[in-house]
Amino acid sequence: MSDEKITYKSAGVDTQASQTFIERIKKYVHSTHNPRVLGGLGGFAALYDVSFLKNYKEPLLVSGTDGVGTKLELARLLAQHDTIGIDLVAMCVNDLLVCGARPLFFLDYIACGKLDVSKMEKIISGIVIGCKLCGTALVGGETAEHPGIMKEDEYDLAGFALGVVEKSEVVDGSKIQKGDAIVGLESSGPHSNGFSLLRKLYLKEGKYLPENVEELRFIKDYLMQPTKIYVESILKLLQRENIHGMVHITGGGFFENIPRVLPSQLQAVIEKDKIPKTYVFEKIARDHKIDWKEMFSTFNMGIGFILILPESQVSSCIDYLNTLGEKAHYIGSIQEGNKEVIFV
């Protein structure tokens, strides 16, 4: 038997590094706080004052959890860790937004093979940016080292968001009717979906960065663009327009996500030529000869968020969204059908 002293650190977990990490991220995390956040970072649980809910008639809490999928592998290979946290926040809060909810606070979970304080600080800085973009407090999280289970440079992320909406103002698709219009808000790229396919297409053997400079630039400049957060724009719009349904276009693209909000006797008719052509998706389809149905089943195709509303409100809705910096387009309508998506 060896006389070597076995410690937690020698087993792969450095608790001192963990404490250093917490101290370094405190300034970032606290910058997202408001008076409702009680206590500081590092406790066993987060406290949030919800006494403001008395101002609601029937407040509903809305929660969601998500990750960023295998986009993490590209971030690891590129050593580009400062925007992946924005993706994490976006994937959670955009889902809450579909109900009309305002996100209140966010928590993260990071699992890693070995705690690299500098790398983790970059990840948290991205989460902080995401929280600020939607007015959400980062109230806590967990960073866990998994030596022997994950490689030292590997990590995984998960996020949790909680929001609130007045019961009478919930957007659940129940008001959608024949003749309603479909308006799409442009995405910033693939967001955080379809990366299992993208890695197969653009990485050598699906594992290694390409040597081709143009392909590498495409990955960095287009595929890695952080997921767009629509919260502030849509919440402002909801104060002005009568929105019948909303959709966050994530994994499964148009065919899987839009039917989730449709009543059983209706279908979404998308006018394919109304969807603006974007360089990133045109290149993916052209370079690899991918069928358009596969593209729309996998990616957001340049439309990251969808609104369903009365046809009479389309012009005012699009005009207002444009003033908020969004790029919105009429892309289709609701017709009688069987809870599916049809392209014309």
Model's pTM, two decimal places? Answer: 0.95
- Match 């729309």 to its residue by tokens: 296
Q: pLDDT at residue 2 above 70?
A: no
Which tokens go with 100? 């009309």
Calculated CA dihedral for residues 270, 274, 279, 280, nearest 10 degrees = -20
Asked if residue 43 has pLDDT above 90, the reply is: no
Using DSSP, state whether 23 is helix, strand or coil. helix
Whether residue 11 has pLDDT greater than 70: no
Please report which confidence band the pLDDT of residue 235 belongs to, taking 50, 70 and 90 as the band edges.
Answer: very high
Q: Which two tokens stand for residue 266?
A: 């209706």
Strands, E assignment, 180-230: 181-186
More confident residue, 22 or 279: 279
- Contact between 164 and 62 under an 8 Å Cβ cutoff? The reply is yes
Q: Give all domains of the chain, ordered by start, each with its CATH number.
A: 15-169 (3.30.1330.10), 181-343 (3.90.650.10)
pLDDT band at 79 (very low <50, low <70, confident <90, very high): very high
Taking all residues of the chain, what is their mean pLDDT, rounded to a whole number? 94
Select from 31, 318, 46, 40 the least CA-distant residue to 186: 318
Residue 211 scores a pLDDT above 80:
yes
**Residue with tokens 């909406």, as numbered in its chain:** 165
181: tokens are 């219009």
pLDDT at 83: 97
Contact 305, 248 (CB under 8 A): yes
**CA 76 – CA 284 distance, rounded (Å):** 22
Region 167-190: mean pLDDT is 98
DSSP result, 76-140: HHHT--SSHHHHHHHHHHHHHHTTTPEEEEEEEEEEESS--HHHHHHHHHHHHHHHHHTT-EEEE
**Average pLDDT in the 128-148 region?**
95
pLDDT at 22: 81
1: pLDDT strictly greater than 60: no
Token pair recorded at residue 263? 């009543």
Residue 320's φ and ψ, nearest 5 degrees, are -70, -45
Whole-number Å distance between alpha carbons of 75 and 220: 9
Mean pLDDT calculated for residue range 327-337: 98
Distance between CA atoms of residues 281 and 299, nearest Å: 8
Please tell me which residue, 3 or 189, carries the higher pLDDT value.
Answer: 189
- DSSP classification of residue 19: H
**Token pair of 204, please?**
């050598």
- Provide, rounded to the nearest whole percent, the portion of the chain with pLDDT above 70: 96
Per-residue pLDDT band for 223 (boundaries 50, 70, 90) equals very high
pLDDT confidence tier of residue 38, bands split at 50, 70 and 90? very high
pLDDT at residue 61 tops 90: yes
Could you report the per-residue pLDDT of 160-173, keeping only the tens digit for each?
999 999 999 999 99
